[in-house]
Amino acid sequence: MIKLGVNVDHIATLRQARRGKFPDPVYGAVLCELAGCDSIVCHLREDRRHIQERDVFLLKDVIKTKLNLEMALSDEIIEIALKAKPHQVTFVPERREELTTEGGLNVKENFKKVSEAVKLFKNHNIAVSLFIDPDFEQIEASKETGTDFIELHTGRYADAEGEEERNKELEKIVKAVEYGISKGLRVNAGHGLDYKNVVPICKIKGIEELNIGYSIIGRAIFVGIYQAVKEMIEIIRKSEKEN
Ligand code: PXP
């Protein structure tokens, strides 16, 4: 069964629009759990544009599933993460000017830095995932770092225009999942997935978890967060069965 991790960053984005206390991503995370998600994902960015340090510590304390903290390889964030002790960290690239995470981490080019960070967190009994493009060289480099998981970036697939391009991007993900598993890695996927484009992804054998944020929180505005998460889980269950 494919697990669902819900990214609650966008609840915090709304809160930060007024710099107040509402809506609270911690409250939202609890509702996501009640609706049946398997983990909560949040991204503590260097510019603190959505999730704040307080959220990370409270989420770790309050949630009952698993906290997956996305983070850049920044000394400041690493220090906070080691204090907050999430169940898992996912290393992502981060450039201040980007709206969200664009493109995967270049593990090949930053091999030493990534490997040291993987080792550090594993020594603290925190599982590690690397958010990478569906690219064989990045998968090989990831394996060499000693990471537990890779998370395949589905953004290009999600943004593809037209069926031909979408199928091409989907095929890259299918092959990358196969290759990652053959290397002994555990494989997750995410970014840009919604209630429609998630269907073919669920049919790929071997993906353990999908991390989804924007589409779920966006839908929550209209139907409520509990219902939005339930609907996504229903689609995932139905699609993986059709396989
Ligand atoms: N996985 C990773 C590593 C991400 O950086 C993001 C975006 O924060 C997601 C999953 C979720 O992407 P989306 O919000 O587009 O569903």
Residue of 70, 151, 169, 209 marked active site = 70
Sign of CA pseudo-dihedral 78, 51, 72, 138: positive
* Segments forming the whole domain that contains residue 186: 3-242
Question: What CATH code is carried by the domain that includes residue 28?
Answer: 3.20.20.70
Half-sphere exposure of 28 (CA within 13 A, CB side): 30
Q: Is 158 in the pocket of ligand 1 (CB under 6 A)?
A: no
How far is 116 from 206, CA to CA, in rounded Å? 28
Question: In the beta sheet, which residues pair with residue 68?
Answer: 41, 88
Helix axes 111-123, 136-145, angle to 10 degrees: 40
Q: Is 212 in the pocket of ligand 1 (CB under 6 A)?
A: yes
pTM of the model: 0.97
Burial status of residue 127 (CB atoms within 10 A of its CB: 0-12, 13-18, 19 or more) = middle
- The confidence score (pLDDT) of residue 98 equals 61
Token pair for residue 193?
A: 């997935």
Number of structural domains (the chain) is 1
User: Mean pLDDT for each consecutive 10-residue tract of the chain (243 residues)?
Assistant: 98 97 98 98 96 98 98 96 98 73 88 97 98 97 98 97 97 98 98 98 98 98 98 97 82
30-66 pLDDT per residue, tens: 999 999 999 999 999 999 999 999 999 999 999 999 9
